[in-house]
């Protein structure tokens, strides 16, 4: 078999991410992954959490990097990859009770990040857990010199790519009905952010029907 598309970063971070997901997704049934890349995360997490169904997705033009590894996966809980661009007004799949995306929000333009959360606001039902992994800035500052260097490198690759401000992303999540549950410090200056959309709308104090 030809060598499968491979990301060293995924290989380095997948065990650390799974350690957190084992708790966060303990009571979840299905995960919709956005921007699945090579499928290393999808296969590792589907194998590590056999009670879950894992739905990988990618931009249509990048599905060719995702399909080979998913086809080689032996278990039954990895669903066939689907083309999904977060900028599409209507996503091709319903949002299940969990979502995951790694290293994607700093690649897509901020307008696409806004569209991602606008889709969640429109299409996510109650009781959905959202996990986002990657580098973030806090209070307008890099969390490390290596993240500052990475951001300069990103800008050279594409002017729209940039490490996002945690506060800006959290604001979009809140507007979509998601409340921050946890912010995990991860190796290599990354974060694992967990939001949850509650079972019922949270009411502001004093609100009446």
Residues that bind ligand SAM (CB under 6 A): 7, 9-10, 34-37, 41, 58-59, 62, 85-87, 102-104, 107-108, 112
Q: Which residue is nearest to ligand SAM (CB)?
A: 37
Element (H, E) at 30: strand 30-34
Write down the least CB distance from residue 105 to ligand SAM, Å: 9
CB closer to ligand SAM out of 59 and 118: 59
Write down the least CB distance from residue 158 to ligand SAM, Å: 10
Write down the least CB distance from residue 194 to ligand SAM, Å: 17
Question: How far is residue 121 CA from its own chain's centroid?
Answer: 16
CB closer to ligand SAM out of 60 and 179: 60
For residue 204 the two structure tokens come to: 């502001």
| Contact criterion met (CB below 8 Å) for 91 and 124 | no
**CA distance linking residue 103 with residue 43, whole number of Å:** 17
CB closer to ligand SAM out of 103 and 147: 103
Element (H, E) at 133: strand 128-134
Write down the least CB distance from residue 134 to ligand SAM, Å: 8
CB closer to ligand SAM out of 149 and 199: 149
DSSP string for 139-205: TTB-SSHHHHHHHHHHHHH-TT--PEEHHHHHHHHHHTT-EEEEEEEEGGGEEEEEEEE-SSPPPPT
CB closer to ligand SAM out of 9 and 174: 9
How would you class 148 by CB atoms within 10 Å of its CB: exposed for 0-12, middle for 13-18, buried for 19 or more? Answer: middle
Write down the least CB distance from residue 204 to ligand SAM, Å: 33
Write down the least CB distance from residue 196 to ligand SAM, Å: 21
CB closer to ligand SAM out of 35 and 46: 35
């Amino acid at each position: 078999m030809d060598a499968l598309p491979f990301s060293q970063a995924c290989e380095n971070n997948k065990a650390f991410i799974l350690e957190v997901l084992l708790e966060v997704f303990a009571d979840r049934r299905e995960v919709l992954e956005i921007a699945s890349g090579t499928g290393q995360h999808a296969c590792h997490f589907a194998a590590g959490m056999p009670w879950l169904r894992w739905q990988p997705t990618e931009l249509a033009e990048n599905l060719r990097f995702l399909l080979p590894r998913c086809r080689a996966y032996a278990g039954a809980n990895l669903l066939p990859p689907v083309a999904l661009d977060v900028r599409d007004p209507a996503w091709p799949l319903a949002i299940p009770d969990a979502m995951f995306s790694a290293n994607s929000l700093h690649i897509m333009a901020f307008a696409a990040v806004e569209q991602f959360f606008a889709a969640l606001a429109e299409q996510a039902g109650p009781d959905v857990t959202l996990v986002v992994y990657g580098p973030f800035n806090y209070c307008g500052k890099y969390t490390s010199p290596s993240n500052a260097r990475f951001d300069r490198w990103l800008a050279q690759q594409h002017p729209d790519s940039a490490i996002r401000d945690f506060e800006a992303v959290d604001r979009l999540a809140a507007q979509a009905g998601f409340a921050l549950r946890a912010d995990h410090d991860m190796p290599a200056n990354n974060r694992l952010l967990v939001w949850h959309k509650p079972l019922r709308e949270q009411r502001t104090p004093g609100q009446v029907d």
